[in-house]
Chain A
Amino acid sequence: MVWRGEGFFLKERRGMAMLGQGTVQRAGWVAALLIAAGVGMLAGKGARAAEAPAPAAVRFDRDVLPVLANACFACHGPDAANRQADLRLDTLEGATAPRDGSPAIVPGNPQASLLLERLRSTDPDVVMPPPGTNKVVTPQQRDSIAAWIAAGAPYEGHWAYRPLVRPVPPAAGLPVDAFIGRELAGSGLAAAGEADRATLARRVSLDLTGIPPEPAEIDAFLADPSPEAFERFVDRLLASPAHAERMAAWWLDLVRYADSVGYHGDQEVTVWPYRDWVIRAFAENMPFDRFTREQLGGDLLPGNTLDQRVAAAYNRLGMMSAEGGAQAEEYLLKYASDRVRDVSGAWLGSTLGCAECHDHKYDPFTMRDFYSMAAYFADIEERGVYDIGQGRDKAWGRMELFTTPPQAGELAALDERVATAKRDLDTDTPSLAAAREAWIERVKQDPWKTLAPLTSAASGGATLALQDDRSVLASGPRPDVGDTTLVFELPPGPFVGLRLEALTHDSLPNKGPGRADNGNFVVSEVTLALRSAAAGKEAKGLADDKPVPLTRALASFEQSVVGDITPSGKWLAAYAIDGRHSGDNVGWAIHEEVGRDQWLIVRADTPIGIPADTLLVVTIEQHHPVGYQVGRFRLAVAAEPTDDPGPGLHPEPVRIACGKPAAERSAEETALLVERFRASAPELSGQREALAAAQRARKDFVDRLPYIPVTVAVEPRPVRILPRGNWMDRSGDVVVPSAPAFLSGAAAAAAAAPPPRPTRLDLAAWMTAPANPLVARVLANRLWAICFGQGLSRRLDDHGAQGEPPSHPELLDWLACELRDGTAQPPGTPWNLRAVLREIVTSRAYRQSSTAPREAIERDPENRLLARQNRLRVEAEMVRDTALSAAGLLVRTVGGPSVRPYQPEGYWDYLNFPQRTWQADQGESLYRRGLYTHWQRQYLHPALMVFDAPSREECTARRPRSNTPLQALVLLNDPEYVEAARALATKSMAEAGPDPLARARFLLRRAVGRIPTEREVAVVAELATAERARFAAEAGAADKLLSIGAHPVPAGLDPIELAAWTTAARAVLNMQETYTRN
């Protein structure tokens, strides 16, 4: 696919010869249009210019396009379907088209331009935008538009879509500072001085690793006299695993990584191996083009590795539903739309999602672009509605067993052990062959005797009807839970157990054999009891009934379990005899195999002698809501302990083969019988046991490993343009994968092109192609935001017309070029994020102080000119990491399954299907970094949520930084923070000696990094002193405080002293500065 580099806005340029070449400056890059006429018109604002740093030039993308886009494009923009008065203002051609009266814009002649007349009108019927639209164009904005028209109305192209050409830094030295310095020079503002080193160390540590530095690290940095001390400090940070984790946390927001599916039951899904892949990718500083390629299409790469398939799980991170009654088609559209929103949000910084139902109102994205983007992903095998009954390896469609390399080795060894055991079992001998023939004779004899019940009863009003084949069919009311009891006459002699056949029937849902809506059943418990015939045939348990102890249960099939409803991961036959009765809702079930006959054998080890006139009372209990009774069943008894269900229940080929003399059996039949024999021959029990043990060992191992949803390409589903986004409307065109037409210019070509159809790999290649300017700009802007708290364009989520033009367009483009082409100085490889981050943080701009004279702040309150650094509350995960790190509790293990720190009881009460309760982890898992906290989309951990961590239902490019009372409640009262305070206090008592001032200093230093002032130290020490008195006076209060949190209290500490210092530490861990990156 080709990036043509000749987009929407650029085409307009050909028609604007009026824009003289002389206005195009600086390496052919149009940065600022210095418009002579404009300067004249703005001259009257000279006085204001002294107050606010407004450059005296009109820039199309900064001053004109946003105004037109906001005020006009909704009715006079790209969306043809809703365009009013046949007027289009987003192109020169449209704006200058002849109309009745005069054109909207006459280049060079503001007076003749109807646009200005309408903007200026005071007549409510004439003025634009119309009063009802709630939109206003200010007089200043009108002046800018007038100046721009006077200069020829140059539609010079939207800044984000222009070809990316490396700007020349305007001065020597670090290019970042050169670009910023030039803007500052005309503003009257002076750059703030360099921040003190302790502040700088903490700032850059938080920005690059998300964790504040240890005081010792700061001290080492302070003590390093070398001019390269800061660069060395930065390089250590960039090489640390913590940096990879911090970058991963940033990326996970964009790709909406979470540990649950989001819709309805919000069930858990295992995707943490993807999260770990992201961490590894950042740890090895994977080039962004490869990073992109492997996530979008790792599964399509030739000879792909497990690692690459894990990366491609990106395609499976969206929300999924398993809601009963959801329509697959509707949800497939939801998933497709979600992918378009995410890929356009995460990579293109664009709101292509807006074009699902109509052409974009502000940007030249069309509905066709939306569905063409969706078509890239139409090959991904997926279901609209998932079924959590499918088991942990199938619940969410295509899933793959995930192993780390050491685990893969262990699994291979276990596989080998299984293979060896199987070889042992398979080795035939003449004596075995003879035993086999004897077994075949036995198989022909049926050990089972089918019985018809004398009496029967079912709870809940169900009707039981005896059929001609002695089976019993249930019908009528279906109780939520209930028992079925039957009484049989037992033949005298030995008796060992019962065979229950669960049989299909046309009257049952899905033909049964169960009565549940899906044809399944749950046999929670089967009990057998013996009764003297004299006691009566009543179909219910009687006091004198004598239970038959059951020791073995086996079945034709056992259903897999999702989640942790049963410890085994199966609905085992064994649960039917585990002796657990009411309240226990697990049992034997067969969901994957509904619609087929099944059998269950329950028996004792050795036969029991049965006297004459004995009745057998069979009770089949069902405790699993709702209505999971067996719909049709037949019961038989055996005299011998057998695991053989009887000839009738052997598969037909086995029955036929057994019926033939040995010489007449085919090779396949012989093999079949050999196999069946091996499965039951007593002579082979040792080998079978060895094989079973090997298989069990393998299963136990595999059961601890995760299955993750993976991307598998299948025949692409046809993707149609859906009018108004209505999934039931099939009238739209079928589209092929294509990048947005105005960006690529390739849509038409792709539509006409013969196969092969473009793939996700083509999309990845297009996004990171050198000719694609958008992705590099978006990425550069976001890296900048990591280091300054806001982007050069603050709209990190929208680089379109409604976004914000960058404050320093050339700097942004220069950084984007550094990314795309590799750093120029020293020459580097393309897409090296770490190198560009390093370039940003080593700049003077980055290193400057965040405090500035009040006048400077008032002149540029939003710091667009970067004459200072920004002060920011750190992000949610860093809030946690900072407190734990200050306390010395933070565990630095990298990767692995998500963890569960403390969470308030009952927080998950409103989750259902299934209901869940949060079980906090123990030990180290309580103190892992915030990014490893289990991310439940519907109920994100409240301590993360209040600090603005997103639910990750959608792509999030930028988190808000809010300030709420709930945050104060978390920092004051969450056991995690109270415990951290206790650990910090303990540390101060151990390491700072007995002097209260020294302890206070220690607490403050660990919290904020810098050397605290004596006044601050005094406040903390006073608090500890006052609290010591309080705890001494209030019995039990100290112990109560110290009991919070699982971290042990060291022996020998005075509880009152520790409680007092814990309180002091709580104050320190609640200071604004502790969670502020200065």
Chain B
Amino acid sequence: MSPFDPRSGPLPAGLDPARRAFLARAAGGLGPLALGSLLGGRGEARAAAPTGEDLARWPGVIRPYHVPPRAKRVIWLYMAGGMTHLDTFDHKPKLAAMNGEPMPESFTKGQQIAQLQGQALKCLGPQHPFHKVGNSGQEISTIFPEISARIADRIAIVKSLHTEAINHDPAHTFMNTGAMVPGRPAAGSWLWYGLGCDAHDLPGFIVMVSTGNYGQRQPIAARQWHSGLLPSRFQGVEFRSKGDAVLYVKPPVGLDGQRAVVDAVTRLDGLHNEVVDDPEIAARLAQYELAFRMQSSVPGLLDLSDETAETFELYGTKGGDGSFASNCLLARRLAERGVRFIQLYHRDWDHHGAVQEHVKGTAAEVDRGAAALVEDLARRGMLDETLVVFGTEFGRTPMAQGNGRDHHMKAFSMWLAGGGIKGGISHGATDDLGYGVVENPVTVHDLHATLLHLLGIDHLRLTIRSQGRDFRLTDVHGHVVKDLLA
């Protein structure tokens, strides 16, 4: 249980009143010079405790862990637009056999349908062959050669996911926040709030978006990484591939000039604090220090000159081009620096038409980067402590929409790898045509519960009080999918 409600009263620095009072005393009593040192200013001796870093860096409310953690962080590769399960990870030979035939009404009667409403429904077989790969013999579409060849035995494919939303916007919101109604915190915000962030110069929740060349570009609303009911400090921060990598991170003059401004602000706020004795001032100056550090850490993060040619070859990118592969490489760098939750959107999976060509094209845009990321994490010994999720907001119909597929919420596939995940397995199954789940259904809430569990959190116990009730990522549902755990 959290020691306080972060949304009540002016407590944004994340400290309980007693600790704030202590800091106020420390800061006010020692004067502005010492305040500067308290905040880790240049050339000053650091106070023993607590440091400005502590003030700026959220420690998390989960202490101790509810369950033994299996992973420290999450990298979520989000295939936005509704990745077809039928042409990627859920092999349906029967559907191939029925290609072009009417979809049996027993499947579709009374079901919710999106753009295919009122049209004759015909089966559309898998558009690309599948093959059995790895020691595990996982069945994966041949449009993922790298994932097939390199990491098949590391991933657990979940074929029995289903969701409650049939349109993109609410489905994304549901996948990220556990609710279709906007306003709930994203999973990344929950984890940052719950566990804090190990990075001292980066936010705990970072989002990157890449755009491909096949299919309709999905709108991605900033609400997908919003902190919702949680304080705004837990909002995901977008790393952009054009303009400033982080909004407003570039100072108008050089870093030295910026330092002079921040130092003057520290002195001025310190002088004022002698009068008003306000703990908010110390907390705010700590945020200025973090902001200042980000101004050099972000360019440093993006400077790939310390990566080897072999790494570039592995990912198939030199970086810096805003591609999915480039973002995968950045994700590994962020993971190394202690960022808690890293989410990479690739927003071209909405294949209403030309599914054969377009799914292949989009798969090619993500295949190598995703496989390289898992492999790279593994060889650096980081995969055991990193949960990698490769998923989407919903699946696509076994029925044809012209030469494409419509939205489908009754079944879709994802895979997970890394910390705490049993590799080389498949979990759950759909019916012969891939329409509905027939074995081990997994809800979005179950996925969230499992994710929290792997990071040491009981999903029932990470809550925030708002509008008179406790909210959690899993709403009032969710079960940990034990079969996935190593």
Contacts and interface: CB of A to CB of B under 8 A. Distances in A.
Given A264-B167, A327-B166, A973 B287 contact: no
Interface in A898-928: 904-907, 909-913, 915
B47 interface: no
Given A728-B112, A1073-B272, A1023 B249 contact: no
Contacts of A1034: 254
A886 interface: no
Contacts of A361: 469
B127 to A, nearest CB: 16
Interface in B204-263: 209, 211, 216-223, 226, 231-233, 235, 237, 240, 242-244, 246-254, 256-258, 260-262
B261 A969 contact: no
Nearest to A136: B1
A1071 B271 CA distance: 11
B46 interface: no
Contacts of A951: 182, 222-223, 226
A664 B79 CA distance: 71
Nearest to B276: A851
A797 B5 CA distance: 15
A948 B466 CA distance: 16
A interface secondary structure, majority: loop
Interface stretch (B101-109, B278-286, B378-386, B444-452): B278-286
Contacts of B117: 325, 327
Contacts of B83: none
Interface stretch (B7-15, B84-92, B303-311, B431-439): B7-15
Contact of B8 (A794, A909, A939): A794
B260 A802 contact: no
A865 to B, nearest CB: 14
Given A323-B169, A962-B12, A1020 B268 contact: yes
Interface in B265-312: 265, 267-269, 271-272, 275-278, 280-281, 283-285, 287-288, 290-292, 294-295
B182 A1072 contact: no
A1037 B254 contact: yes
A972 B258 contact: yes
A15 to B, nearest CB: 26
Contacts of B222: 938-940, 945, 951
A1027 interface: yes
Given A910-B347, A940-B222, A1026-B260, A134 B114 contact: no
Interface residues of A, number: 109
Contacts of A960: 6-7, 12, 231-232
Given A939-B221, A953-B223, A954-B183, A1071 B272 contact: yes
Interface string A854-895: 100110011000000011110000000000000000000000
A872 B12 CA distance: 11
Contact of A1013 (B56, B167, B226, B271): B271
Nearest to B281: A1072
Contact of A973 (B12, B203, B248, B470): B248
A1040 B253 contact: yes
Interface in A925-968: 937-940, 942-943, 945-946, 948, 951, 953-954, 958, 960-968
Contacts of A851: 275-277
Interface in A1056-1078: 1063-1064, 1066-1068, 1070-1073, 1076, 1078
Given A1023-B264, A1030-B256, A1070-B265, A965 B280 contact: no
A805 B114 CA distance: 46
A802 B468 contact: yes
Interface in B149-185: 166-170, 181-183
Nearest to A949: B232
Contacts of A354: 467, 469
Contacts of B240: 906
A978 to B, nearest CB: 5
B478 to A, nearest CB: 14
A943 B281 CA distance: 21
Interface string B449-486: 00000000000110100111110000000000000000
B280 A1072 contact: yes
Given A954-B182, A968-B288, A905 B264 contact: no
B407 A325 contact: yes
B407 to A, nearest CB: 6
B287 A351 contact: no
Contacts of A1071: 265, 268-269, 272
B17 interface: yes
A963 B55 CA distance: 11
B33 interface: no
A803 interface: yes
B276 A1078 contact: yes
B interface bracket (residues with beta carbon within 8 Å of A): 35 or more
A794 B211 CA distance: 44
A325 B288 CA distance: 46
Nearest to B56: A965
Contacts of A132: 460
Nearest to A943: B248
A408 B69 CA distance: 67
Interface string A252-272: 000000000011111000000
B231 A962 contact: yes
A1076 B269 CA distance: 11
A912 B217 contact: yes
A362 B467 CA distance: 11
B1 A264 contact: no
B115 A325 contact: yes
Interface in A1002-1032: 1013, 1015-1016, 1019-1020, 1023, 1026-1027, 1030
B406 interface: yes
Given A871-B278, A962-B232, A912 B219 contact: yes
Contacts of B470: 134
A904 B243 contact: yes
Contacts of A969: 246-249, 291, 294-295
Given A966-B237, A1013-B271, A906 B242 contact: yes
A728 B169 CA distance: 20
Contacts of B25: 854
A134 B463 contact: yes
Contacts of A915: 217
Contacts of A968: 284, 287-288, 290-292
A1021 to B, nearest CB: 10
Nearest to A946: B232
A910 B251 CA distance: 25
Contacts of A1078: 276
A1019 B260 CA distance: 11
28 contacts: A265-B219, A323-B168, A351-B469, A790-B9, A800-B468, A851-B277, A861-B17, A871-B278, A904-B244, A904-B247, A912-B216, A912-B217, A946-B232, A963-B12, A963-B280, A963-B284, A965-B288, A966-B247, A973-B248, A1019-B268, A1023-B264, A1027-B260, A1037-B257, A1041-B252, A1044-B252, A1063-B260, A1070-B261, A1078-B276
Given A851-B277, A1026-B260, 19 more contacts: A325-B166, A794-B9, A801-B468, A910-B347, A911-B219, A942-B247, A951-B222, A962-B232, A962-B233, A965-B291, A969-B291, A972-B261, A972-B291, A973-B248, A1030-B257, A1066-B261, A1068-B268, A1071-B268, A1072-B278
The 7 closest A-B pairs by CB, nearest first: A802-B468, A325-B114, A968-B291, A938-B221, A325-B115, A965-B291, A1067-B264
Interface of A: 132, 134, 136, 262-266, 319, 321, 323-327, 330, 337, 351, 354, 361-363, 626, 728, 789-790, 794-795, 797-798, 800-803, 850-851, 854, 857-858, 861-862, 870-873, 904-907, 909-913, 915, 937-940, 942-943, 945-946, 948, 951, 953-954, 958, 960-970, 972-975, 978, 1013, 1015-1016, 1019-1020, 1023, 1026-1027, 1030, 1034, 1037, 1040-1041, 1044, 1063-1064, 1066-1068, 1070-1073, 1076, 1078
